[in-house]
């Protein structure tokens, strides 16, 4: 029986996150950071709700240079926020087209941004501001003497290394999902559609104990598939098809993100060889996942194998990425990324290659970096392409 990690975090974990970001804020001469996204808000407050799926209401959290975060949120979230470690909570009745929290937010920023006259906001790559652009512009107009700097670099830096408790949650969802994939080999059926096979898998993962599988994508085709982001469709699986399922399942807000490939009836030598190549690339990438190496070292190790194995191209633009509260997080395994690996960093290794025009083979595993080297979080895929007969 799998040991289920405790849900939530001790308060000390939030205190540590706050301490980390406040240290970086001090170095960047930032008085306050404005958070607007579900992930950033959950990370610093523990406020966990699916309600961000409704685009109607903005949610704000301010991290001051000293002291605990202040939540500025719609009344509908007040009782939930009161159950977190946050005690400084301002609310307004939202939706309010005339003033959806902007005046409350303005007052608080003015209060906090006194030392350096500087506010951090996520501006850079992979970030968005989750509030109407017109409200953001009004806010900036309300605080003309306060400089706005990009907080994206320091926010992602804090989230980059995972605590033991975070790694436990990711490992747990990786292990459950791995078990699902292993059993899936006996469940997949020729003659069922991609969609039908994926729905069976999603139901099975839920039964195994994931909270959800919000990302569950598949592709299939004779001798190989042409996309790894579009399905599942109603296409029926036939003998001779290769089928990929890629899943981001979740336990207590933390993701796994990996895939498995299956051939039906038979597979071409080209496909078998491509599978061996990407498997070997994962092995090589794994060995490079050492403290002090970089994401580009990991990329180069995998990419060499892919080139030697006859890759004629790729559509993905990278060979893996960070993983945690999001399906994909900073950094990226690319030639120029050069992010230094540290203990607690969780990555996907995702070598992929086009081996024939329009035919891709992509493999993915999840790992964590420790002082003693890398650890597989997912249960390693088959060394050879599984053939379902």
Q: Which of residues 125-164 bind a second copy (CB under 8 A)?
A: 125-134, 136-137, 150, 152
What span, in angstroms and rounded, lies between the C-alpha atoms of 356 and 274?
10
Please name which of 232, 180, 189, 174 lies closest in space to residue 364, comparing C-alpha atoms.
174
Q: What is the largest CA-CA distance in the chain?
A: 69
What span, in angstroms and rounded, lies between the C-alpha atoms of 198 and 18?
40
Binding mask 307-326 for a second copy (x = CB under 8 A): --------xxxx--x----x
What are the CA-CA distances from residue 246 to residues 120, 136, 202, 369 (Å)? 35, 36, 11, 22
Q: Is 122 in the site for a second copy (CB under 8 A)?
A: yes
Residue nearer to a second copy on the CB measure, 215 or 376: 215
Among 104, 123, 143, 270, binds a second copy (CB under 8 A): 123
Q: Is 363 in the site for a second copy (CB under 8 A)?
A: no
User: Radius of gyration of the chain from Cα atoms?
Assistant: 23
Q: Which of residues 160-219 bind a second copy (CB under 8 A)?
A: 199, 202-203, 206-207, 211-212, 214-217
Among 265, 343, 358, 373, binds a second copy (CB under 8 A): 358
Residue 58 Cβ vs a second copy, minimum distance, rounded to whole Å: 9
Full DSSP string of 100-150 = SSHHHHHHHHHHHTTSS-EEEE--STT----S-HHHHHHHHHH-TTSEEEE
Helix, strand or coil for residue 276? helix
Q: Which of residues 34-53 bind a second copy (CB under 8 A)?
A: 48-51, 53
Residue nearer to a second copy on the CB measure, 251 or 280: 251
Binding mask 61-100 for a second copy (x = CB under 8 A): -------------xxxxxxx--x---------xxxxx--x
Binding mask 329-348 for a second copy (x = CB under 8 A): ---x-x--------------
Are 65 and 25 in contact by the 8 Å Cβ rule? The answer is yes
Residue 233 Cβ vs a second copy, minimum distance, rounded to whole Å: 9
Residue nearer to a second copy on the CB measure, 18 or 354: 354
Residue 242 Cβ vs a second copy, minimum distance, rounded to whole Å: 15
Among 1, 27, 55, 186, binds a second copy (CB under 8 A): 55
Residue nearer to a second copy on the CB measure, 49 or 163: 49
Q: Which of residues 229-288 bind a second copy (CB under 8 A)?
A: 229-230, 234, 248
- Counting residues that bind a second copy (by CB under 8 A) gives 71
What are the CA-CA distances from residue 254 to residues 41, 56, 331, 384 (Å)? 14, 25, 17, 29
Residue 15 Cβ vs a second copy, minimum distance, rounded to whole Å: 23
Please name which of 197, 203, 249, 191 lies closest in space to residue 218, comparing C-alpha atoms.
197
Residue 337 Cβ vs a second copy, minimum distance, rounded to whole Å: 8
Handedness of CA 64, 252, 351, 240 (dihedral sign): negative
CA 384 to chain centre: 28
Please name which of 256, 232, 258, 284 lies closest in space to residue 381, comparing C-alpha atoms.
258
Residue 232 Cβ vs a second copy, minimum distance, rounded to whole Å: 9
Residue 297 Cβ vs a second copy, minimum distance, rounded to whole Å: 18
Residue nearer to a second copy on the CB measure, 249 or 386: 249
Residue nearer to a second copy on the CB measure, 49 or 382: 49
Residue nearer to a second copy on the CB measure, 80 or 240: 80
Q: Is 300 in the site for a second copy (CB under 8 A)?
A: no
What span, in angstroms and rounded, lies between the C-alpha atoms of 214 and 173?
13
Full DSSP string of 318-330 = SS-EE-SSSSSEE
Task: Give the bridge partners for 353, in sequence order.
Answer: 361
What are the CA-CA distances from residue 215 to residues 56, 230, 249, 250, 256 (Å)? 23, 11, 7, 9, 10
């Amino acid at each position: 029986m799998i040991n289920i990690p405790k849900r939530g975090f001790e308060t000390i974990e939030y205190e540590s996150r706050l301490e980390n970001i406040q240290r970086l804020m001090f170095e960047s001469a930032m008085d306050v950071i404005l958070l607007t996204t579900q992930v950033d808000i959950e990370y610093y407050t523990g406020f966990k709700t699916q309600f961000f799926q409704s685009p109607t209401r903005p949610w704000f959290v301010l991290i001051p240079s000293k002291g605990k975060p202040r939540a500025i949120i719609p009344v509908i979230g007040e009782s939930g926020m009161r159950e977190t470690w946050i005690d400084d909570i301002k609310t307004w009745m939202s939706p309010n087209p005339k003033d959806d929290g902007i005046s409350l937010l303005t007052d608080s920023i003015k209060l906090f941004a006194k030392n350096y006259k500087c506010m951090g906001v996520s501006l850079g790559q992979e970030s968005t501001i989750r509030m109407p652009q017109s409200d953001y512009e009004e806010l900036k107009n309300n605080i003309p003497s306060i400089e706005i700097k990009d907080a994206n670099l320091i926010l992602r830096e804090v989230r980059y290394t995972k605590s033991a408790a975070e790694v436990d949650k990711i490992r747990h969802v990786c292990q459950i999902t791995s078990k699902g994939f292993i059993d899936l080999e006996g469940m997949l059926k020729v003659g069922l559609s991609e969609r039908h096979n994926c729905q069976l898998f999603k139901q099975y993962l839920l039964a195994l104990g994931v909270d959800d599988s919000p990302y569950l994508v598949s592709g299939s085709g004779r001798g190989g598939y042409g996309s790894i982001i579009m399905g599942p469709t109603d296409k029926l699986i036939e003998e001779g098809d290769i089928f990929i399922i890629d899943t981001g399942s979740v336990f207590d807000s933390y993701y796994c993100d990996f895939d498995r490939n299956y051939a039906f009836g038979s597979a071409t030598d080209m496909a078998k060889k491509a599978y061996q190549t990407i498997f070997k690339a994962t092995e090589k990438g794994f060995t490079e996942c050492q403290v002090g190496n970089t994401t580009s070292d990991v990329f180069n190790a995998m990419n060499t194998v892919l080139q030697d194995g006859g890759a004629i191209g790729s559509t993905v633009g990278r060979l893996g990425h960070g993983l945690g509260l999001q399906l994909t997080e900073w950094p990226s395994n690319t030639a120029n990324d050069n992010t230094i690996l540290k203990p607690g960093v969780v990555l996907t290794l995702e070598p992929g290659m086009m081996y024939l025009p329009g035919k891709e083979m992509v493999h993915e595993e999840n790992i964590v970096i420790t002082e003693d080297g890398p650890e597989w979080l997912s249960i390693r895929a088959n060394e050879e392409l599984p053939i379902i007969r």
